[in-house]
Amino acid sequence: MSGQADVRMRIQDLRVALAESGVEILKGVSVELHAGRIFALVGESGSGKSVTSMAAMRLLPEALEITGGAVQVGDQDLFDLSESAMRDVRGRRVAMIFQNAMTALNPVQTVGQQVAETLKLHTVLRGDPLRQRVVQLFTEVGIPDPDQRFSFYPHQLSGGQQQRVMIAMALACEPEVLIADEPTTALDVTIQEQVLKLIRDLTQSRQLAVLLITHDMGVVSNTADDVAVMYRGEIIERASVDDFFHHPKEEYSRRLIDALPDLTHFQSAAAEQPLLKLDDVKVHFPIRKGVLQRTVDYTRAVDGVSLHIGRAETYALVGESGSGKSTLGRAILNLESVAGGSVQFNGEEIQHLGRKAMLPYRKQIQVIFQNPYSSMNPRLSVGEIISEGMESLGLGLSKEERNKRIDDLLTRVQLGPEVVSRYPHEFSGGQLQRIAIARALAVEPELIICDEPTSALDVSIRSEVLDLLQELQREFAVSYLFITHDLSIVPTLAHQVGVMQLGKLVEQGTAEQILTRPQHPYTQALLKSVPRID
């Protein structure tokens, strides 16, 4: 560990409690961030990792209050500053990358304007130099066509591209301290590797002090210098990364490491009876220009994809952000218009069915969306969110039967019936994703399209959820189209794997074939970028 002179941020005995009840959420957390070093904070959802970072930045919601401790940056105690002075610290001296880019970005401003706003607040850049600096930042974090993307709104970017905008915004003013709350959660492995390398390089070149909050042990091993493990609001172990992975002291730490996927075990072949069959499926979005908005070309988001998924089989669809994975999932659900080809479910073509004709298939094909925050009604309780599908799709269950199924599902996703009356804003990202899984399972579907369902989960909960999905598959013969950028979970989960690049399926085969003997250069590049523990 470096000496005291290079401490950029010191969090001392930080305590946070629920404002109403006084129940402690953080119980005396102390962390030192040193120049030129990356400090990783790991632990399960709800352990207090994000609360620690939000408290340090004085961004806690009203339901939580700081009850003790201090946060120092240089000779300034942030808890003694006025809100006006604190605004000057945020972004300029201490910057933050938030976990959920979609809720952190302003939907009515272009992403270029939002990054420029940060620069205007803290620098003298204006006009063309300001725009050039934003484009340069977009280039650094791997956003394609950065000059064009300057004028895009958040909803026009993929989840991974939104997160890259957040990283560009955080790095814009060259801060002393960077707090990165799951900065690569939504990123595919090749961009994740670039972003983590960028953070590592900046840490050294600018002597930046970084607090990295993550659940990915591969990222910790490859990126961090020091690590601390949080459990129920306390730090229970801290060490250098090498010591932590070679000699973990706490049983909980060993469980986190043991929960990592087994990259040597593969699923045996599943039954060949087809449930879903795609034949040369195309999804094209018109590009309009001019006053009359005439169509001048098309974006070929999905460009001739053919695959089939058998009963009780898992098909993993992998590829980078923007490759067309989620668009293909939405086309199967009839949420995007198919420009060509056919989508057959149980032998019936469904791609051109109207809303009413599609309704019976809504029960048979369910979806777990990538972003649980935006896929749930914030005004409904957990019980109402899960029962909504059972009622609207006419399962014919009595209220008592629905309530029993809800309690059973919440137990199976490791939340328990006691959360049934709570609302989405009361849960962490990982807990919300488990609620989304329970909602999808509620109508007993034959196929579930899983769009990054474990991206927000820490390693131990991710392992439990994947085990749960496999258990349900064995029990109910449910099939999964598993859309993911996390190749490490594919071996133990998938029977077949398809690799998408720029709307095309460039390679497909069994999980063992793709992960041990990849043929396409793009697949080889993806596998090379997966963070691994040495």
Annotated domain spans of the chain: 274-529
Q: Which residue has the higher pLDDT, 334 or 184?
A: 334
Report yes or no: 207 and 181 within 8 Å, Cβ to Cβ: no
How high is the pLDDT of residue 458? Answer: 67
How high is the pLDDT of residue 359? Answer: 86
Cα–Cα distance list, 365 to 127, 202, 229, 276, 394 (Å): 50, 45, 39, 10, 15
State the average pLDDT over residues 271-287. 87
How high is the pLDDT of residue 261? Answer: 64
pLDDT digits (tens, 9 = 90+) for 484-507: 877 878 888 899 999 999 999 999
Report yes or no: 195 and 180 within 8 Å, Cβ to Cβ: no
State the average pLDDT over residues 416-425. 91
Please report which helix (H) or strand (E) contains residue 396, including its range.
none
Report yes or no: 253 and 230 within 8 Å, Cβ to Cβ: no
Cα–Cα distance list, 438 to 80, 412, 463, 466 (Å): 44, 8, 16, 13
State the average pLDDT over residues 379-401. 87
How high is the pLDDT of residue 2? Answer: 46
pLDDT digits (tens, 9 = 90+) for 1-59: 444 558 999 999 999 999 889 999 999 999 999 999 999 999 877 789 989 999 999 99
How high is the pLDDT of residue 271? Answer: 59
Using DSSP's 3-state secondary structure scheme, residue 344 falls into strand
Q: What is the pTM of this model?
A: 0.73
Could you write out the three-class secondary structure of 293-335? CEEEEEEEEEEEEEEEEECCCEEEEEECCCCCHHHHHHHHCCC
State the average pLDDT over residues 360-386. 88
Given a cut of 50, is residue 434 above it in pLDDT?
yes
The conformation of residue 286, written as its DSSP 8-state character, comes to E
State the average pLDDT over residues 213-235. 90
Alpha-carbon gap, residue 147 to 511, rounded angstroms: 38
Alpha-carbon gap, residue 81 to 69, rounded angstroms: 14
- Banded pLDDT at 369 (limits 50, 70, 90): confident
Residue 169 CA neighbour count, 13 Å, CB half? 27
How high is the pLDDT of residue 1? Answer: 45
State the average pLDDT over residues 147-153. 93
Given a cut of 70, is residue 118 above it in pLDDT?
yes
CATH pick for 274-529 out of 3.40.50.720, 1.25.50.10, 3.40.50.300, 3.30.2130.10: 3.40.50.300
Residue 136 is which amino acid?
Q
Q: What is the mean pLDDT of the chain?
A: 87
Q: In what order do the strands lie in the sheet with 274-289?
A: 294-310, 274-289, 340-345, 348-349
Given a cut of 90, is residue 126 above it in pLDDT?
yes
State the average pLDDT over residues 129-138. 94
Q: Which residue has the higher pLDDT, 468 or 382?
A: 382
Report yes or no: 312 and 251 within 8 Å, Cβ to Cβ: no
- Residue 211, both tokens: 């607090």
Out of 37-51, 115-129, 156-170, 323-337, pick the least confident. 156-170
- Banded pLDDT at 171 (limits 50, 70, 90): confident
Report yes or no: 224 and 38 within 8 Å, Cβ to Cβ: yes
Q: In what order do the strands lie in the sheet with 64-73?
A: 24-34, 7-18, 64-73, 76-77
